[in-house]
Structure formats: C-alpha cells, structure tokens
C-alpha cells in the first residue's frame, strides 16, 4: 500500500508539473487564428483554423490571419478538462502501481514464507533465490549465510553434548569398578562401606545425567528416525504401573483417563517423553497429593491442531504441589532449570522437561506448561 501511494503521488506531482508547463507554453502569447473573409472575428463558430505562427494553412482554405487572445472561459475549460484527465490517469496509475508493487514485493514475501518455515530442526534449508543478481538476491544470500552459521553453531553444540556424554562414561565406569573392588576386599572398614555408598549415589546421579544428555542430544539430532505407530495411552499406563512404589510412598491419588491415542514417531523417544512427565509429576508432588493422566485424540480436520488432514494426540499430566509463578513455569523447558530451593534439593537432573520439549518438537508437536492456581503443574503435550 505504501509503495502504491508513493507511485501515485509521484505521478500526480509529475503530471501537475507537465500540465503547468503546457499551459504556460500555450497560453503565454496570443494564438494565430484564420477567419473567413468578411466575417466578424469574435464568434467562435467563424474560426476555420487556429495555428501557431509559421504553420501553413490547410489546402483550399483562404482567410484572414489574426492574433486571438484566449479568453478566461477557454482557459477555465482547458483547466477543468486537464484536471479530469489527470484524475483519470491517477486512478489508472494507482491500479498499475498496485500491480507493480506486488511484483516488486513478491520475492520478499517468498523469502519471508521460507524463513518462517525454518527452525532449529531444518537449518539445512536455504532460500537460494533464482533470477539476476540484485538487491533481493543479495538479501537472500545474506540470510542463507546467517542460516549456515546458525546450523554450524547448533550442530557444534549438539555434537559437544553427545561427545562429552560418551567420554564421561569411561571414567565413571572406572570409578564404579574401584569402589566395587574396595568394598569386595575381606572385612572392609565401616568407613569404606559408608564412603562406597555415598560414591555409588553420586555415580548413579551422574549416570542418570549422562543418559539424559544423550537422550536430549538424540532427540535434537534425529528424533524422527525409525518412525512407528506408538500407542500413547498404553505408554502412560505402563509408566504409572512402573512407578507404583513411588506413588504409594507419597500416598498419591491417581486418576487415569486413558482414551486410545496413537502417535507416529520414535518409540523410544515417545516412551521417554511419557516417563519424564510422569516422573516429574510424582517427584515434585506433595505427600497425600493427587495426579491425573489423560490421553485423548483430536479427529482430523477439527481445530487448528488437527489441520492438514491428520489427527492429533494429546497427553495431559496434572499434579498437586506448591503454588508456582507462570513466568517461571514458562522457562522450565530449559535444561537444568528447576524452581525453588525445595525443588533443587530433590533428586533429579533438571533435564526432564527439556527432554520432553525436544522430543515433542522433533515430532512436530508442542509442550505447554500451566501453573495451577491451587498449586501444582499442568503439562500438555500435543503430537
């Protein structure tokens, strides 16, 4: 719209200047007119031809040449007609300007649409604009160079996490073996047994951290490999059954609403997604609290989450707990982030929800976290 208004304004200014120059050229001196002989020079219908000085008369025309000064009526008529023509051409220039502006901005719209589709999951894609080398192509090449640098940075980060996790496994295995050898000696001292127990706790926590880092790196790198049909409701039931002892220890009331819900994805990653959400609800719950696990399916074509002819599966995990701030809850998808000193003192790696978020993103889904007004958390995953 702004380009169209600019084009129209430029046309109006240039058209006005052109008409002004034409009026000055035509009306700044009397016009040489030819009249019929013996006819009064004033009636307009007696004019045979009007011409500028030096222009020959048409053939077979004879008359008397006289200089005629244009009247104010003539000037006014020409002025009104010129304005009408200028207004008509302004309308036409507006229509043409709209078409030209659309053609000019079409490459920008194409680049914007492609850029919106690019995320950390497909940083390898490029705009690669066709056509001549101009300002538009230079902008596209600049964005492509930026995407290349971002792809290298993301790949380096993921590779570092994977390599560091693998490299740390060896010294941890050596430490665990040394503890087992020390404890396995005949009649070990009580201090050695206590120390071995503490070291085993630390080694178990380090192992869980490494497993979480490896799982996070795998979800971010190739989360959509080995795509199979996974029944989300069955995974949720299995996760609850496997944690029956932890649930009973806190005397939690569990409500299950497990409707059939199927997901196309990586079975191992989707299983980890469900288990991490259930673990989070149990670990950060209060004694004598409650939790609710729900699975459901949105039929294809209903709602914005089921657009494109595909059904969407949803998993809800709600739990009681401390009152949380929503602004802090929105940051829980970041690695190693926990809320409050009480949460920090509890066991866990701080990777659970970040792993859930990475797996959901890898399966073209989304994790949404809501702080309940009564306390606790409501986690929703749509896949």
pLDDT digits (tens, 9 = 90+) for 260-282: 888 888 888 888 889 889 998 99
Give the least confident one: 39-53, 132-146, 292-306.
39-53
Q: What is the pLDDT of residue 341?
A: 44
Pairing of strands 64-68, 31-35: antiparallel
Q: What is the mean pLDDT of the chain?
A: 78
Residue 280 sits in a domain of what CATH number?
3.30.565.10
pLDDT band at 257 (very low <50, low <70, confident <90, very high): very high
- For residue 130, tell me if it sits in a domain: no
Both tokens assigned to 381: 């995953």
Which bin fits 263, alpha (ψ -120 to 50), beta or left (φ > 0)?
beta
CA distances to 94, 257, 258 from 298, in Å: 47, 15, 14
Both tokens assigned to 155: 């790949």
Tell me: pLDDT of 58 over 70: no
Residues 259, 375, single domain; the answer is yes
Give the least confident one: 16-20, 109-113, 326-330.
326-330
Between 177 and 139, whose confidence is greater? 139
Domain extent for 274? 223-382
- For residue 189, tell me if it sits in a domain: no
Both tokens assigned to 180: 């087992």
Q: Convert the pLDDT of each residue in 151-160 to its tens digit.
A: 887 777 777 7
- For residue 351, tell me if it sits in a domain: yes
Say how many domains are in the chain: 2
Tell me: pLDDT of 286 over 70: yes
Query: At a CB cut-off of 8 Å and minimum separation 6, what does 229 contact?
Result: 262, 263, 264
Residue that finishes a domain, picked among 117, 132, 159? 117
Residues 111, 259, single domain; the answer is no
Both tokens assigned to 145: 């160079």
Residues 83, 227, single domain; the answer is no
- For residue 182, tell me if it sits in a domain: no
pLDDT band at 344 (very low <50, low <70, confident <90, very high): very low
Q: What is the pLDDT of residue 81?
A: 87
Q: What is the pLDDT of residue 265?
A: 84
- For residue 12, tell me if it sits in a domain: yes
Residue that finishes a domain, picked among 117, 146, 169? 117
Q: Convert the pLDDT of each residue in 89-102 to its tens digit.
A: 889 999 999 999 99
Q: Convert the pLDDT of each residue in 244-253 to its tens digit.
A: 999 999 999 9
Residues 235, 365, single domain; the answer is yes
CA distances to 145, 170, 173, 176 from 184, in Å: 59, 21, 16, 12
Residues 107, 246, single domain; the answer is no
As a whole-number percent, the residues of the chain with pLDDT over 70 amount to 75
Between 369 and 126, whose confidence is greater? 369
Tell me: pLDDT of 343 over 50: no
Q: What is the pLDDT of residue 326?
A: 84
What pTM was computed for the model?
0.51
Between 12 and 66, whose confidence is greater? 12
Q: Convert the pLDDT of each residue in 69-81 to its tens digit.
A: 667 777 788 888 8
- For residue 213, tell me if it sits in a domain: no
Residue that finishes a domain, picked among 117, 149, 181? 117
Q: Convert the pLDDT of each residue in 201-229 to its tens digit.
A: 777 777 766 776 777 666 666 555 567 88
Residue appearing with tokens 């500028």 = 52
- For residue 128, tell me if it sits in a domain: no
Burial of 186 (0-12, 13-18, 19+ CB in 10 A): exposed
- For residue 31, tell me if it sits in a domain: yes
């Amino acid at each position: 719209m702004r380009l169209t208004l600019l084009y129209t304004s430029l046309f109006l200014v240039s058209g006005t200047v052109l008409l002004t120059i034409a009026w000055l050229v035509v009306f700044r001196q009397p016009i040489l007119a030819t009249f019929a002989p013996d006819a009064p020079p004033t009636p307009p219908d007696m004019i045979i031809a009007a011409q500028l000085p030096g222009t020959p008369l048409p053939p077979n025309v004879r008359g008397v040449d006289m200089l005629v000064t244009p009247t104010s009526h003539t000037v006014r008529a020409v002025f009104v007609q010129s304005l009408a023509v200028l207004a008509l051409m302004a309308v036409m220039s507006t229509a043409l300007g709209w078409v030209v502006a659309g053609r000019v901005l079409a490459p920008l719209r194409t680049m914007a649409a492609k850029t919106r589709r690019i995320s950390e999951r497909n940083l390898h894609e490029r705009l690669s604009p066709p056509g001549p080398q101009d300002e538009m192509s230079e902008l596209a090449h600049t964005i492509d160079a930026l995407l290349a640098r971002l792809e290298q940075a993301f790949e380096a980060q993921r590779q570092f996490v994977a390599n560091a996790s693998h490299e740390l496994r060896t010294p941890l295995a050596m430490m665990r073996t040394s503890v087992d050898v020390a404890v396995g000696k005949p009649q070990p001292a009580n201090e050695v047994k206590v120390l071995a127990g503490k070291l085993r706790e630390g080694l178990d926590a380090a192992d869980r951290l490494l497993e979480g880092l490896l799982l996070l790196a795998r979800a971010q790198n190739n989360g959509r490999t080995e795509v199979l049909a996974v029944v989300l409701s069955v995974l949720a039931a299995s996760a609850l059954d496997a944690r029956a002892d932890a649930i009973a220890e806190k005397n939690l009331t569990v409500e299950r609403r497990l409707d059939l819900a199927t997901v196309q994805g990586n079975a191992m990653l989707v299983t980890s997604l469900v288990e991490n959400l259930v673990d989070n609800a149990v670990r950060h719950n209060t004694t004598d609290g409650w939790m609710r696990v729900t699975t459901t399916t949105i039929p294809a074509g209903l709602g914005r989450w089921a657009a494109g002819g595909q059904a969407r599966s949803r998993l809800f995990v709600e739990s009681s707990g401390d009152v949380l701030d929503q602004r802090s809850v929105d940051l829980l998808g970041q690695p190693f982030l926990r809320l409050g000193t009480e949460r920090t003192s509890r066991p866990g790696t701080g990777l659970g929800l970040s792993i859930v978020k990475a797996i959901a993103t890898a399966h073209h889904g989304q994790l949404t976290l809501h702080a309940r007004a009564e306390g606790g958390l409501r986690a929703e995953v749509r896949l």
